[in-house]
Amino acid sequence: MNYYLPAFIIPISLFIIFIEYWVSKKQGKDVYHVDSTVSNLSIGVLERVLDVFLQGIFFYIFTYVYQHYALFHVSDKWYMWIILLLLTDFVWYWYHRLGHEINLLWAFHIVHHQSHDYNLSVAARVTNFQSIIRNVFWCALPLIGFKPEMVSIVLVIHAGYSFFTHTQFDFKIDWIENIFITPSLHGVHHASNPEYLDKNYGDMFVFWDKLFGTYKKAVTQPVYGLTIPLESHSFLWQHFHYLIEIGYRLRLTKNISQKLKILFGKPNLMLGTERIEVEKIFLSRNRYTQVKSNLYKYYIGIQLFGILILSFGFIFLHTQLNHFQKIYCISLIFLTLVNCGALLDQKRWILMVEYLRLFLLIFIVSAYLEYNAFCIVLYILSAVLLIRKSYIEEEYYRFLFDLNIKQ
């Protein structure tokens, strides 16, 4: 039964997000925007789907570390659970802080800070790269001597608390903010205001920020997002843009020691112009710039809703699927998430992703159905679509964007 429980994180999280959206609308607050919300949920969906494999891998690693290298063997008495929770947040603090202070680690953590909104959907902006890195840090807990089962349970509690700090609906109670990270304090961490940069790294407790001089209360209204905003909602670009920026800077740097500083030094060693330059190279020349219709938003919404259902089913049933079925489901989910981001950015290559999804559908139908005539029809249809590519592309863009690509 434990294999099925992670699947319910998706519908429960969506239900809570919907409540926040509904309350914000009732109060007239402009908290949610389509582009940011789609981007946030897209990144979170893939992380949840692939996490079914990562959880098993890291539980095995935790167990191996505990059995072979544990410095002590900690009991599971009630007070040890409290100590474990404190240590978990302490390890998080340093993982989080180093994720902001080491440029290469920032390349993976930056995705969590890209949204210009601040709401519960932002909590989903966690990549699998980030999950791998923080689990490496958490290997310190079984190394100390905490049982892997204890570590896993506390990590779920820790992550659950973190989810609820990503909201602008807050309560101002001083004694609480003297102990716990509140939505207001974590909102400071997500802000790009100069006075708020590199503050409030704690995830659950404020002790570590106060102890190490990174604590800051909200005084002025936070401006959320990056100091240099990302000019794209592309699923792929959001994951890899900063690595490309680092590569661009490394190519311009001849000295080996300087290259190492760029990789392992602080992000402020970057010039600050890399993002502008790489966006000129990779973004501006392969996108349209005019949207006249909202129809594409409904199209994106339908796709995202379908992928959320598929992801729930995949996580719920993944132990019963064979390798082929797993690869197929993940491929379809991935292509659709890429497509959603490309639609938001009006990428010129969107139609190619649509073709890839169509061929994936044909392939799975061919593999599971014995109706050869039906499969032949599908292959003929795909051939016609390729032959008539220019006409279909024009109609496709006119339908979604009210845009004539010949103009």
Could you tell me the pLDDT band of residue 358, with boundaries at 50, 70 and 90?
A: confident
Instruction: Convert the pLDDT of each residue in 108-134 to its tens digit.
Output: 999 999 999 999 999 999 999 999 999
**9 and 145 housed in the same domain:** yes
Query: Where among 286, 319, 350 does a domain terminate?
Result: 286
pLDDT at 172: 72
pLDDT at 2: 56
For residues 186 and 191, give the distance between their C-alpha atoms in angstroms, rounded to a whole number: 9
pLDDT at 170: 80
Judge contact between 217 and 209, C-beta under 8 A.
no
**122 and 191 housed in the same domain:** yes
Could you tell me the pLDDT band of residue 386, with boundaries at 50, 70 and 90?
A: low
Residue 225 lies in a domain: no
Is residue 404 pLDDT above 60, yes or no?
A: no
pLDDT at 101: 96
pLDDT at 407: 42
Is residue 364 pLDDT above 80, yes or no?
A: no
**Among 321, 318, 358, which Cα is nearest to 336's?**
358
State the number of CA atoms in the 13 A half-sphere of 312 facing the CB: 12
**279 and 158 housed in the same domain:** no
pTM: predicted TM-score of the whole model, two decimal places: 0.89
Residue 230 lies in a domain: no
Residue 51 lies in a domain: yes
- In Å, what is the CA distance from 329 to each residue of 50, 62, 199, 318, 373? 11, 28, 40, 10, 25
Residue 113 lies in a domain: yes
**Among 383, 236, 400, 373, which Cα is nearest to 303's?**
400
Judge contact between 144 and 72, C-beta under 8 A.
yes
**163 and 35 housed in the same domain:** yes
- Six token digits for residue 378: 């599908």
**244 and 305 housed in the same domain:** no
Residue 184 lies in a domain: yes
Residue 333 lies in a domain: yes
**85 and 144 housed in the same domain:** yes
For residues 279 and 262, give the distance between their C-alpha atoms in angstroms, rounded to a whole number: 20
- With tokens 């600050």, the residue in question is 272
**63 and 34 housed in the same domain:** yes
Backbone torsions φ then ψ of 77, nearest 5 degrees: -65, 160
Instruction: Convert the pLDDT of each residue in 223-235 to its tens digit.
Output: 999 998 888 889 9
Work out how many domains the chain is built from and give that number: 3
For residues 407 and 387, give the distance between their C-alpha atoms in angstroms, rounded to a whole number: 22
- Give the DSSP per-residue string, 119-143: SGGGGG---HHHHHHHHHHHTHHHH
Range of lowest pLDDT (28-37, 111-120, 206-215, 282-291): 282-291
Its domain, for residue 360, covers 295-401
**190 and 271 housed in the same domain:** no
Instruction: Return the higher-pLDDT residue of 4 and 80.
Output: 80
Could you tell me the pLDDT band of residue 1, with boundaries at 50, 70 and 90?
A: very low
Residue 120 lies in a domain: yes
**311 and 256 housed in the same domain:** no
**339 and 243 housed in the same domain:** no
Instruction: Convert the pLDDT of each residue in 61-113 to its tens digit.
Output: 999 999 999 999 999 999 999 999 999 999 999 999 999 999 999 999 999 99
**34 and 133 housed in the same domain:** yes
Residue 218 lies in a domain: no
pLDDT at 372: 61
Is residue 389 pLDDT above 80, yes or no?
A: no
pLDDT at 367: 67
**322 and 182 housed in the same domain:** no
**Among 187, 180, 184, 218, which Cα is nearest to 202's?**
180
In percent, the amount of the chain with pLDDT more than 70 equals: 88
Over residues 277-301, the mean pLDDT reads 75
pLDDT at 143: 97
- With tokens 């390729």, the residue in question is 386
For residues 163 and 179, give the distance between their C-alpha atoms in angstroms, rounded to a whole number: 18
Instruction: Convert the pLDDT of each residue in 187-214 to its tens digit.
Output: 999 999 999 999 999 999 999 999 999 9
